[in-house]
Amino acid sequence: GAVVSQHPSWVICKSGTSVKIECRSLDFQATTMFWYRQFPKQSLMLMATSNEGSKATYEQGVEKDKFLINHASLTLSTLTVTSAHPEDSSFYICSATPLAGSSGANVLTFGAGSRLTVL
């Protein structure tokens, strides 16, 4: 089945530094990947839709300059939290779906998530 790898699974950083999280589709190509943020005991909040070869589409209220998203290839999207602050501490999850017309094209597969702690 489709597998999405997310790395790192957890990261601790100092306030003011930047952190990059990678999301890779291991056995399929994905034109679109999604980035979510999840606070403890809450639902997944869509942050942005990452489109291969073009700019990401951000949800209202999500700072584009704070959360940089790059989708350089059909198998890799990255989320960079710039100048991180303690309030950016959260669980970040990516998801991807195979290209239209391919097997499982309508099902999103999720990465295992990345827990970010900003000190």
Partner 1 sequence: AQTVTQSQPEMSVQEAETVTLSCTYDTSESDYYLFWYKQPPSRQMILVIRQEAYKQQNATENRFSVNFQKAAKSFSLKISDSQLGDAAMYFCAYRGYQGGSEKLVFGKGTKLTVNP
User: Nearer to partner 1 by C-beta: 16 or 104?
Assistant: 104
Q: Which of residues 28-57 bind partner 1 (CB under 8 A)?
A: 32, 34, 38, 42-44, 46, 49, 57
Among 21, 95, 116, 118, binds partner 1 (CB under 8 A): 95
Strand pairing report for 57-58 and 32-38: unpaired
Strands (E), the chain: 4-7, 10-13, 19-25, 32-38, 44-51, 57-58, 67-73, 76-81, 90-96, 109-110, 114-118
User: Nearer to partner 1 by C-beta: 65 or 100?
Assistant: 100
Among 13, 62, 89, 110, binds partner 1 (CB under 8 A): 110
Applying CB under 8 A, the residues found at the interface with partner 1 are 32, 34, 38, 42-44, 46, 49, 57, 91, 93, 95, 106-110, 112-113
